[in-house]
Amino acid sequence: MSIIEILKAVLFGIVEGVTEWLPISSTGHMILLNEFVTLDVTPEFWEMFLVVIQFGAILAVVILFWNKIFPFQFRRKPVVRKDIFTLWFKILAACIPAAVIGLAFDDVLDALFYNPWCVAVALIVFGIAFIVIENRNKNVSPKITELKDITYQTALMIGVFQLIAAVFPGTSRSGATIVGALMIGVSRTVAAEFTFFLAIPVMLGASLLKIVKFGFAFTGTEAVILLTGMASAFIVSLLVIRFLMGYIRKHDFKVFGWYRIVLGALVLLYFALAS
Mean pLDDT for the chain overall:
90
User: Looking at residue 202, what is its pLDDT?
Assistant: 84
User: Looking at residue 65, what is its pLDDT?
Assistant: 96
Are 189 and 249 in contact by the 8 Å Cβ rule? The answer is yes
CA distances from 42 to 82, 218, 233, 273 (A): 46, 11, 21, 27
> When comparing pLDDT for 11 and 170, which is higher?
11
Percent of the chain surpassing pLDDT 90: 62
User: Looking at residue 18, what is its pLDDT?
Assistant: 96
pLDDT category of residue 132 using cuts at 50, 70 and 90 = very high
Residue range 264-269: mean pLDDT, rounded: 90
Residue range 156-168: mean pLDDT, rounded: 87
User: Looking at residue 1, what is its pLDDT?
Assistant: 58
Residue range 196-221: mean pLDDT, rounded: 88
Question: For 49-83, how does the pLDDT look when each residue is reduced to its tens digit (9 = 90+)?
Answer: 988 999 999 999 999 999 999 998 877 778 888 99
Q: What is the 3-state secondary structure (H, E, C) of the chain?
A: CCHHHHHHHHHHHHHHHHHCCCCCCHHHHHHHHHHHCCCCCCHHHHHHHHHHCHHHHHHHHHHHCHHHHCCEECCCCCEECHHHHHHHHHHHHHHHHHHHHHHHHHHHHHHHHCCHHHHHHHHHHHHHHHHHHHHHCCCCCCCECCHHHCCHHHHHHHHHHHHHHHHCCCCCHHHHHHHHHHHCCECHHHHHHHHHHHHHHHHHHHHHHHHHHHCCCCCHHHHHHHHHHHHHHHHHHHHHHHHHHHHCCCCCCHHHHHHHHHHHHHHHHHHHHHC
- Domain definitions of the chain by residue range: 3-274
First CA to last CA distance, the chain: 33
Dihedral of the CA atoms 186, 233, 63, 221 (nearest 10)?
Answer: 140
User: Looking at residue 165, what is its pLDDT?
Assistant: 81
Is the pLDDT at 120 greater than 70? The verdict is yes
Is the pLDDT at 110 greater than 80? The verdict is no
User: Looking at residue 75, what is its pLDDT?
Assistant: 74
